[in-house]
Each structure stands twice: as structure tokens, then as C-alpha cells.
A and B are shown apart, each in its own frame.
Chain A
Amino acid sequence: MAQSPTKSAPGPLEYLRRWPLRLWLTAVLVYLYAPLISLMVFSFNKSRATIVWRGFTLDWYGKAFTDSDLVIAFANSLTIAAVSTIVSTVLGALTALLLWRFRFPLKTIFEGALGLPIVVPEICMGVAMLVFFTQVMPWPTNLAWPLNLGAIIISHISFSFSFVAIVVRGRLASFNRELEEAAKDLGAGEWRVFWDVLVPHMAPGLLAGALLAFTLSLDDFVITFFTSGPDTTTFPILVYSMVRFSPTPEVNAASTILIVLTVGLTAFALWISGGDVVRAEAGD
């Protein structure tokens, strides 16, 4: 199918060179990007109005960085994401190894239950966590930071680690088991095989899974909305109340910071994993 691009009429399968499709693609990309780009552009706007351009300023960024609520919320979000990522990656890796290596009773049921956090609507999981943390395991409200974030961290781990397990399991599928057998023949024990053979092979999957867990946690609004209290505001929760009650370009500035951060991390994850993250996210 190597059609050499020529200046002549497009070949039968060179759909991208036909103008209706180009127009359509351009329109869709404008639809996807114009709102986001204008949001970022207007974070540099001199006026409070979020749509009329009055000149360039960095004031809103200055305001965002000195807004203590915003800084605390941002620190909370990063802390939650970091802890949740570490635990989810460990749990996800253990799950992936378990499913990859063993045949055991109720395996299908376990796999099904593992898929639940991915398919259950966020709102259902949110209210379940709310009830759990008020009735069954009330999380003390007077704990010192960062322990007061425990309830949020636990719920984030619950919805992240299945995603990690899928990414890591996908990576393990390409493992050549003869390597494991060779290592065992040469006298390596379980532990040695795990560290010196399996972990190096899993590494790209682990990294991709970890970055996925990190962005999932940083992005989550609905589940956090039901598990956070007045002292445990996260970045999305604070931005939500700003959007609702006082949408100023400060929101745009804060959003721009988060967009740059998540897009940067994602680009890194894609580059490392060669697409594992995307396939996992698309539920494939």
C-alpha cells in the first residue's frame, strides 16, 4: 500500500488528500482545541472579562500563586496523586503477576470484580465511598496533614489500581517464559527471578501504569467530591467552586497550569510506553 505522494489526483485510498475529509478533520480539531486554547490565552488577559482581550498580563498567575487556598489545594492534589500512584502501582503489579502466572478457583470472578472499578459510573463509586467513610470507617477529621487526606487517597487507589493491572498485564503478555525457566535452571530462586528477570521486563508497563494512575488521581472530581471535607480540598474541587461562584481569569491561570502539567506527564507516558496507556484507557 505504499502509494507515493504525488501532485496528481489523490489515489483511491488517500482519503486524507481529499478536501471534504480535510475540511471535516480541521473542523473537528478546531472544535476540540479552540475552547482549550482560548481558555489558556485568556489567562493572560488584562481584563476580568474572560472573553474580551485587553492586553497581556501575568497578574492572574501572580494571583494564583499567592492564593493560599489554591496553593494548598494544589499541594493536596499532588500529595494524594503521589501516594495513590505508589500504592496503586504496587497493587496493580501484584494483581497482574497473579493473573498472569496462576490458575486458581474463582479466577473469572476475580477478573470480573477487577474490571468493576473501570466500568462502574463514577457517581455510584462516589456515593459508595461517602457512605463507607461516614458509616463504616469514619475518617478522623482532626488528623495532621497529610493523614487527613487518607479517605481520598484510599478511594483513588480503589479506582486506579485496576487500570495499572491492565497495563502491566498487557506488558507481561509479551514476556518470554523461557527466560524465567532459564533463570530457574541456572539456580535463581523465586525472588531472584522476580527482581532480575521479571521486573526489568515489566518496567515500561509499570511506568506507564504509574503515570496513568497519577493523571487519573489528579483529574478526579466526582469521587473526590464525595470524600473530601472542608479541610481537604483538592485542586479540581476548588476550581469547581471557583467556576460556579466566581469565574475570573484566575481560574484560567490555574487551569492552564494543570493542563500543562497533565499534558506534559501524558506525553512522557506515551513516549515511554509506546501506546500501552492509550489502549488501557480505551478499554481495549
Chain B
Amino acid sequence: MDESWEKAKAVFATLGVAPVAWLVGFFLLPLAIIWGYSFGENSSLTEISVNGTLSNYVHAIKPLYLGIILKSFWFAALTTVLCLIVGFPVAIAITFASPRTKGWLLMLIMLPFWTNLLIRTYALMAVLRTEGYVNTGLGVVWSALSHLLALFGHPLGPFHPLDLLYNNFAVVFGLVYVQLPFMVLPLYAALDRLDRSLIEASLDLGAGQLTTFRRVVVPLAIPGIISGALVTLIPSIGAYLTPDLLGGPSSLMIANVIERQFKTANDWPFGAALSFLLMYMTFLAIAVQAIVTRNRTRRRG
């Protein structure tokens, strides 16, 4: 039904000029400048000369930075897997709920993701702090247990709070907290489209619930798993706030390093190279997803 642009040039121009100009001028151009800078070096305090050097990229794959890039990827992958494990049963529960309950559950899963990321991260800090809820709760349990054991002459001694905040654990905990809704929604979308008679057939033919889950539900939910993994993985790799507020000195992720190059270290060319490496990683993830999805649809004819 598409009309050729040549048929109504005036309308085409009216619609097209502003969006194209904005996208090029205020989005693509800034990115292009960063891309250019990634091949440049600081020539004075405020000047950057773009001379085609690859030194920034070479610098970026030195062990220190390569380690941080790999760690970002590892944190993101771990977050994705944890979200999948935590989110899959939730998606199943939503899919098979009655229409009324379904609406409420979807709303409940979505609401946190409409709440400010910064606020959610701040809320987690109160949970994980040394004198936070988890440690306070554990302390109460510990002292009760200690009193009980003292009756038998074996008190447990003082409670040592766990270090839950400002470390790698806190970062992954926080990433899962933030990304979980992104995983549940695509999973739910895939499971909801699934033909339920297949599950019933499998159960009728004698497969148990677990076998049915493993051999029928999961394979059919693959498209949802893939898109859920992608929308969880991409924001996690580039996460800035979560490692910044919840992490310790050793849990820097790539976004934090980029921020430092621009705000404190004043090495823009290097920061630009890191930004583009992060972007290439993102594009790679999207490309892999596209290829996997295309191969699957082709196989099914």
C-alpha cells in the first residue's frame, strides 16, 4: 500500500524534513564526532587532533581495560541468566492466570520499571547496607539463635554483619532488580502466543509437568527468551548508575570508566574509543539475535 514519495513530493517533504534534520543534526552528528575523536589524541589541554591514530583502541585492550570490558560483559551475562531463572516462572504464572489476575500481575511487574532508576537503586542501598534490612533481620535471627543455644551452653558470639553493599554481589543484585521486568514481559508475550493444546497433549500423553516444561514449553518460548535476553543484556553491559552507587572500587564497569575519561581524567579520545567499543558490543548482540531469529524462521519454512 506504500505510496511512492515521488507522487506527493510536497507532503513527503513536509513530513520528512524535521525528523531527518533532527536525527542527523542532534543525534548522528554527535555520535560521528565521538567516532572521529576515538581516532585522535589530546594535542593541548583543550584541543583534540584527529589524526587517525589507533592508539586509543590499543590502549583500550590493555589488560586493565580489557578486564573491565570483560567484567561488564560477565556481569551482564550473569544478570541475564539470573533474570531468566527468576523471571520464567513469573511469566508462566502470568500466562496461565485468569484474565483479571493477569492484568493485575502485568501491572505489578511493570510498575517498578516506570519508577526512576536512581530511586530504585537508592531503595536497594537501604536494603543492603551494613545496618540495612537484611543485616538487621539476620542480626535478630542470630541473637535469637544465640540465646537458644546459650541454654545448651554454646552461645554463638556477637553477630558480624555481612558486607552486602559496595561489592560485585551488590552490582549484580541491583542489575537483576532493575532488569527483571524487561525479561518477564517478552517471555510472557511469547508464552501467551503458545498453543496450549500442545501442553495439554504432552500431559495427556503421559509426560510429567517437568518433562513438558523442558521439552515443550521452553523450546516454544525460545523467541521470547532471545528477545528477553537481548533487552536485559544490552542495558546491563552499559549500566552506569548501578555499579556507581552499589559497587565497590573493584566493581567498575565500562560505563564508569567512560564517564571518568570525560569528567575527571580528561582523556576524551580514549573515552570515545571505549564508547564505541561498548556500542560495537551492543550491535554485535543485536546482530546475533537477528541472525538466530532469522535462521529459526527459515528452518520452519
Contact = CB atoms under 8 A, between A and B. Distances in A.
The interface residues of chain B, by DSSP majority, are classed as helix
A5 B114 contact: no
Contact of B258 (A33, A39, A123, A236): A123
A131 B114 contact: no
Q: Which of B26, B126, B199 has the most CB of A within 10 A?
A: B26
Contacts of B28: 113, 116
A16 B33 contact: no
Interface stretch (A56-64, A65-73, A218-226): A218-226
B19 A95 contact: yes
A39 B115 CA distance: 12
B226 interface: no
B180 A32 contact: yes
Interface in A11-54: 12-16, 21-22, 24-25, 28-29, 31-36, 38-39, 42, 50-51
A282 B231 contact: yes
A105 to B, nearest CB: 8
B240 to A, nearest CB: 5
Interface in A81-97: 90-92, 94-95, 97
Interface stretch (B4-12, B144-152, B162-170): B4-12
Contact of B31 (A120, A123, A215): A120
Contacts of B29: 132, 136
Contacts of B119: 36, 39, 239, 255, 258-259
A157 B23 CA distance: 10
Contacts of B231: 282-283
B245 A123 contact: no
Given A91-B18, A258-B119, A28 B262 contact: no
A35 B90 contact: no
A125 B272 CA distance: 11
B111 interface: yes
Contacts, number: 257
B37 to A, nearest CB: 7
Nearest to B109: A32
B189 interface: yes
Contacts of B264: none
Interface in B225-239: 227, 230-231, 234-235, 237-238
B114 A221 contact: no
A270 B115 contact: no
A273 B241 CA distance: 30
Interface string B91-119: 01100111001000111111111111111
Contact residues of A: prevailing secondary structure: helix
B60 interface: no
Interface in B1-48: 1-5, 8, 11-12, 15-16, 18-20, 22-23, 26-31, 33-34, 37
Given A16-B96, A215-B114, A35 B127 contact: yes
A75 B189 CA distance: 38
Contacts of A283: 227, 230-231
Interface of B: 1-5, 8, 11-12, 15-16, 18-20, 22-23, 26-31, 33-34, 37, 86-87, 89-90, 92-93, 96-98, 101, 105-120, 122-127, 129, 131-133, 136, 177, 180-182, 185-186, 189, 196, 199-200, 203, 209, 227, 230-231, 234-235, 237-238, 240-241, 245, 255, 258-259, 262, 268, 271-272, 275-276, 278-279, 282-283, 286
11 contacts: A1-B196, A12-B200, A12-B209, A35-B127, A103-B2, A124-B275, A128-B30, A129-B30, A161-B22, A251-B122, A282-B189
Given A16-B101, A127-B275, 16 more contacts: A12-B200, A21-B92, A24-B89, A25-B105, A36-B123, A91-B18, A94-B15, A103-B4, A124-B238, A125-B30, A127-B272, A131-B30, A158-B22, A158-B23, A190-B11, A263-B114
